[in-house]
Structure 1
Amino acid sequence: MSDRAETSERTTMAPRASELGDFLRARRAALRPEDVGLTPYGERRRVPGLRREELCLLAGVSVTHYTRLEQGRGTRVSREVLTAIARALRLDEDEISHLMDLAAPARRPAQPRPEHAGDSARQLINAMAQVPALILDRRNDVLAWNGLGHALLGGHLDPGDPDLPAHRPNLTRMLFLEEHMRDLYGEHWPEEATLAVASLRLTAGRNPDDRRLAELVGRLAVQSGEFAERWARHPVRTCTSGTKRMDHPVVGRLELAFETLQIPKSPGQRLIAYSAAPGSPSERALRDLLPQGRPDAEERPRAVLSAVASRG
């Protein structure tokens, strides 16, 4: 079995305890004794980062108990112990949240059902005609986009694809498997790729029962060595706002701020909108990107949804 296939198998089938162990080992390996105020001895160290014994000394926990956690043999672990380990590993807020998620009792995987964007959410993004806007689910599937959102990220795709689950675009899959997205982000692609994996790791930790999410991770681990390499590092990060730098094939360089808003009536769904600084070249470029002479952006998705409903 290839390294990539092994990564896929571990990612999709490993028990939750194994994920916890992988995360702890990755974070322990990233710390040196001097980072945490310990004096390293002169002998050659056989493992990178902190030894288990050193971490347990800092956290004040039993070496035996901690070893069982790393080896996936731990059962219940108290929040106090996890907090002590997190403090010793110098975890940030996102990493602490991820640690708690991984240590939570496993749930039975749920049967996945196709999601759709609600009418009010569609109405909102179509009213935002001057800015690219999309509605995503937790897996980064595109459930809906307005005309400018489609032109920015998926102009090479049919605008009605988000309404058909079998053809629905997925931003993470597109990022790693489509040259269009690699060209769009250009020199900033590695940064985008690392951020996408870190965000997906956090989501996977919070939703261990999501089969479609596990399938997405497994597929990407097999089809993209760059994804598999990043996934193995176990990065974790929340990304709700920031800046995207793109080189769009139609309008050229763009620097866009983005904000993400959760949709309260649809858990796991969120709205993401991009905007340019007033008077900037990017604002002028977005105006040039506005769809011209196309049918109303709201009518086509409704027609597609009606077709899907009539089949069901």
Structure 2
Amino acid sequence: MKNNTGSVQTRHSIYLLLAAFFWGTTFVAQDMAMEVMQPFTFNVCRFLLGSMVLIPVALLTGRIDPLSVNYRGAEIPGVSTPPEERRKHLLLGGFCCGLCVFLAGGFQQVGIVYTTAGKSGFVTALYIILVPILGLFIGRKCTPMIWLSIAIAIVGFYFLCIKEDFSVNRGDLITLGSSFMFATQILTVDHFSPKCNGVQLSCLQFLVAGLLSLIPAFVFENPEFAAIQSAILPILYSAILSSGVAYTLQIIGQRGLNPTLASLLMSVESVISVLAGWIILGDTLTGKEILGCVLVFAGVILAQMPAGKPKR
């Protein structure tokens, strides 16, 4: 049973790392799209298309949820509850997660206008600090190894984002709002994912996020079909791989994992965003910023080390 527990936890960790890869490379797509279109218009296209991509899969998994057992081998509570109860969890969870994704995506997309793809990825990943802090208020505890990993990552973020005069640019500050909302979304997923179908939850959260994004898109922006056509490739990449695939991997992968550990795994997106920005967009990093990347990555790796038997 112990080996099976470890293998399932490893598989779920791989799901989250794959999600992080898609999110990290999507920062490049987001940056490219901002050359020709406005932030909330991009999010409308991205989220609604992501929801549409998931509809067939969500319908197919309506009655069968293959991941109905958590990594401890115990039955997930939601599987044994009546369909009406699961439907309530799905609708409430879809709205709450969708609201978080709408706010997080909005802050992130506006922030990336004023900063680089790589910097945006790292500032967004500050949710690794916020998740355990917010988790304390709902009774979530972490091992000393996790807190050490977070401390190392914080130092890394300092080297990456703080300038010599201790200032932070406007884009980084706006993106901090995205980080807070992503932390809230991770904890929300942790609460609802065991109680309903993961693909359906992901599909519904993007439908909600896309519909909510329509409001600022038409109030503050001027959506143009020509701009959407010009950015069709970044939109498709963001919608299918980042929204449709990656967020579904997150919802499934978080089952049975401590949300703080999950956030550390997903924060690898920050390293990937920097590498993708360097390779594809030609973004450059100083020696101090490279050191910051190394420290954040080290913190993520350290969080995977065995921490002994947890206290019962």
With structure 1 as the length reference, what TM-score do the two structures score?
0.24
Greater RCO between the two (CA within 8 Å, min separation 6)?
Answer: 2
Q: Larger radius of gyration, structure 1 or 2?
A: 1
With structure 2 as the length reference, what TM-score do the two structures score?
0.24
Structure with greater helix share of residues: 2
Structure with greater strand share of residues: 1
